[in-house]
């Protein structure tokens, strides 16, 4: 049943001052009344102090409960929030009592899923709830909050409105096919459609850096053995994560760590040195390095300051995107291009962070994080679908064209936007979006 009562812990389990448990669905108030002493019908949305008891009347804790009658709740259903002391016992016993009183354990993301089904949030906003919780850098949190507050949704709704307008204009054309220049000139319809197509193109262009912002840009430290990659990895993280020795071939397997460069989220990867090694295990490590090189948003190519770039290194730069980092700048003056750094003196580390962040987040820096942007592949795929449907619709417009086919493709484009916002009932899309959520969301 879709609206059966569900209950789950909304805070992380473990030692804490407080824990919050949520119950939502038809019958949530009856479930709560079985556990909360003196649970009363009034007043809504006001926290009330009460004793919580298990089915056999044993006291569990004293805490606060708040009643949110539908539709004025997160899920749009009757909802109760109970807060008790944290730790291992009180929250678990409170939850068990609520389950015994008839609430089922919630599935991943089920609270937010219900909010979407009840029209409290659209799908793009629901994704932002997950992004806000998962944010590790301030810019990620700001972008998620903007999306949650409807920044992207509003932009998509405007596009949808324009498409509906084009469909309306087109229906005149279909209804009065014999009038030579019809009540609406086809050029006007074409202009409206082309306008939407261009606005979609501008949104699609935000996808690479916005997806990067959400996931963290992948920066890969690569170069010859002993170039100082692992030392730089540790220095940039501010922690000794990777082994460093004077023996070439120290790093065998890639290591990844999350950090931020001046507030911009990055995934930093240290890799095995690239050379023709006779050692089988080292060769396997080098294959991993190659895969990282091709997946990188930016390669930080480490070359000792004292020497010229070899052809292997020049090839990596040519393939790009890469930034040449001249390591061990305390030992020699950098020869040729690249940014000099030293992990001994700390020289160049700040500049490197700045240059790398500027390279991978250039357009987010110029746009600011408060512009609608496509933060997921799902958004990009939907809008690319809409874009090609619009191109098809334009190709059937005008002399010799078929307005019915134009209308059909316009419809497809609108459907792509609807699926993106979750306006149509698409269980499969919902399943995919909420698979990554935790049970209390
Ligand atoms: N003087 C100086 N020595 C450095 C610097 N960076 C690294 N080294 C030394 O260079 C040697 C190799 O450093 P690593 O960081 O292990 O080099 P790597 O590129 O990870 O090497 P592999 O994992 O073998 O490919 C070590 O002896 C480091 O102490 C630096 O900035 N200045
Ligand atoms: Mg190493």
Q: Could you tell me if residue 429 is inside a domain?
A: no
Is the Cα torsion angle 158, 164, 167, 171 positive or negative in sign? negative
In this structure, the number of other CB atoms found within 10 A of the CB of residue 74 comes to 20
Closest ligand relative to 245 C-alpha: 1
Is residue 438 a part of any domain in this protein? no
Handedness of CA 161, 72, 428, 142 (dihedral sign): positive
Q: According to the 3-state scheme, what is the secondary structure of 60-118? A: EEEEEEEEECCCCCCCCCCEEEEEEEEECCHHHHHHHHHHHCCCEECCCCHHHHHHHHC
Pocket test residue of 228, 292, 306 for ligand 1, highest count of atoms within 8 A of CB:
228
Q: Is the CB of 328 under 6 A from ligand 1?
A: yes
| Cβ–Cβ under 8 Å, residues 387 and 197 | yes
244: in domain: yes
Both 314 and 246 in one domain: the answer is: yes
Looking up residue 359, the CATH number of its domain turns out to be: 3.40.50.300
Point out the residues of the chain with pLDDT beneath 50.
1
What digits encode the pLDDT tens for the residues 46-102? 999 999 999 999 999 999 999 999 999 999 999 999 999 999 999 999 999 999 999
Residue 170 near ligand 1, beta carbon < 6 Å? no
347 and 221 co-located in one domain: yes
Q: Say if 133 falls within a structural domain.
A: no
66 pairs with which residues across the strands? 81
What is the structure's pLDDT at 260?
92
Please tell me whether residues 10 and 58 are part of one structural domain.
Answer: yes
Query: For ligand 1, is residue 248 a contact (CB within 6 Å)?
Result: yes
Q: Kindly state whether residue 200 falls inside one of the protein's structural domains.
A: yes
Sign of CA pseudo-dihedral 422, 426, 429, 430 = positive
Do residues 212 and 297 make contact, with C-beta atoms less than 8 angstroms apart? yes
| pLDDT value for 291 | 93
**Ligand 1 neighbour 308 (Cβ under 6 A):** no
> What residue numbers bound the domain in which 75 lies?
6-122
Same domain, 351 and 230: yes
Residue with tokens 């999350």: 258
**How many domains is the chain built from?**
3
Is the distance from the beta carbon of residue 289 to the nearest atom of ligand 1 less than 6 Å?
Answer: no
CATH number at residue 175: 1.20.120.430
- Which strand ranges, in their side-by-side order, compose the sheet holding 104-105? 48-53, 59-68, 79-87, 14-24, 6-9, 104-105
Of all protein residues, whose CA lies closest to atom 5 belonging to ligand 1?
328
List strands edge to edge, sheet with 217-223.
255-261, 264-270, 217-223, 298-304, 322-327, 339-340
Domain containing residue 109: CATH number: 3.30.1360.120
Q: Is residue 131 part of a domain?
A: no
Do 248 and 331 lie in a common domain? yes
Task: Return the SS3 of 15.
Answer: strand
Nearest to 375 by CA among 190, 102, 151: 151
Residues 111, 153 share a domain: no
The answer to whether residues 313 and 251 belong to one domain is: yes
Verify that 291 and 307 share a domain, yes or no.
yes
**Are residues 115 and 31 located together in one domain of the fold?**
yes
Q: What confidence score (pLDDT) does residue 196 get?
A: 95
Q: Within this chain, do residues 223 and 328 fall inside the same structural domain, yes or no?
A: yes
Q: What is the pLDDT of residues 110-141, one digit of tens each?
A: 999 999 989 999 999 999 999 999 998 888 99
Q: Do both 349 and 382 map to the same domain?
A: no
For the Cβ of 326 lying below 6 angstroms from any atom of ligand 1, the answer is no
Establish if 319 belongs to a structural domain. yes
For residues 288 and 245, membership in a common domain is answered with: yes
Q: What is the pLDDT of residue 426?
A: 53
């Amino acid at each position: 049943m879709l609206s059966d009562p569900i209950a789950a812990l909304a805070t992380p389990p473990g030692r804490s001052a407080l824990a919050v448990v949520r119950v939502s669905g038809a019958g949530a108030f009856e479930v709560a009344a079985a556990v909360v002493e003196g649970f009363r019908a009034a007043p809504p949305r006001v926290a009330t102090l009460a004793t919580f008891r298990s089915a056999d009347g044993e006291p569990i804790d004293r805490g606060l409960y708040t009643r949110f009658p539908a539709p004025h709740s997160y899920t749009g259903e009757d909802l109760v929030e109970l807060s008790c002391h944290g730790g291992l016992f009180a929250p678990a016993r409170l939850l068990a009592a609520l389950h015994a009183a008839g609430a089922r354990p919630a599935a991943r993301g089920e609270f937010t899923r219900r909010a979407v089904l009840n029209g409290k949030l659209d799908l793009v906003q629901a994704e932002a709830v997950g992004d806000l919780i998962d944010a590790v850098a301030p810019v990620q949190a700001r972008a998620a909050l903007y999306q949650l507050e409807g920044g992207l949704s509003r932009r998509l709704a405007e596009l949808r409105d324009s498409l509906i307008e084009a469909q309306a204009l087109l229906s005149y054309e279909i209804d009065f096919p014999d009038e030579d220049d019809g009540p609406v000139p086809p050029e006007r319809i074409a202009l409206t459609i082309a306008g939407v197509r261009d606005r979609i193109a501008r949104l699609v262009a935000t996808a690479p850096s916005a997806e990067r912002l959400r996931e963290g840009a992948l920066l890969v430290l690569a170069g010859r053995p002993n170039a100082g990659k692992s030392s730089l990895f540790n220095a940039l993280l501010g922690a000794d994560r990777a082994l460093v020795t004077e023996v070439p071939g120290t790093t065998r397997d890639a290591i990844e760590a999350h950090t931020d460069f001046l507030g911009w989220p990055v995934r930093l990867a240290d890799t095995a040195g690239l050379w023709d090694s006779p050692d089988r295990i080292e060769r396997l490590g080098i294959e991993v390095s190659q895969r990282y090189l091709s997946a990188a948003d930016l390669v930080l190519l480490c070359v000792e300051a004292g020497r010229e770039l070899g052809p292997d290194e020049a090839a990596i730069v040519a393939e790009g995107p890469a930034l040449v980092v001249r390591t061990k700048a305390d030992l020699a003056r950098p020869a040729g291009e690249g940014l000099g750094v030293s992990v001994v003196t700390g020289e160049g580390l700040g500049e490197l962070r700045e240059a790398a962040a500027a390279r991978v987040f250039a357009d987010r820096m110029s746009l600011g994080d408060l512009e609608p942007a496509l933060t997921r592949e799902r958004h990009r795929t939907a809008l690319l679908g809409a874009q090609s449907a619009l191109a098809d619709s334009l190709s059937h417009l005008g002399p010799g064209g078929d307005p019915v086919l134009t209308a059909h493709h316009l419809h497809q484009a609108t459907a792509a936007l609807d699926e993106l916002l979750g306006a149509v009932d698409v269980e499969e899309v919902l399943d995919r979006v909420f698979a990554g959520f935790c049970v209390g969301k």
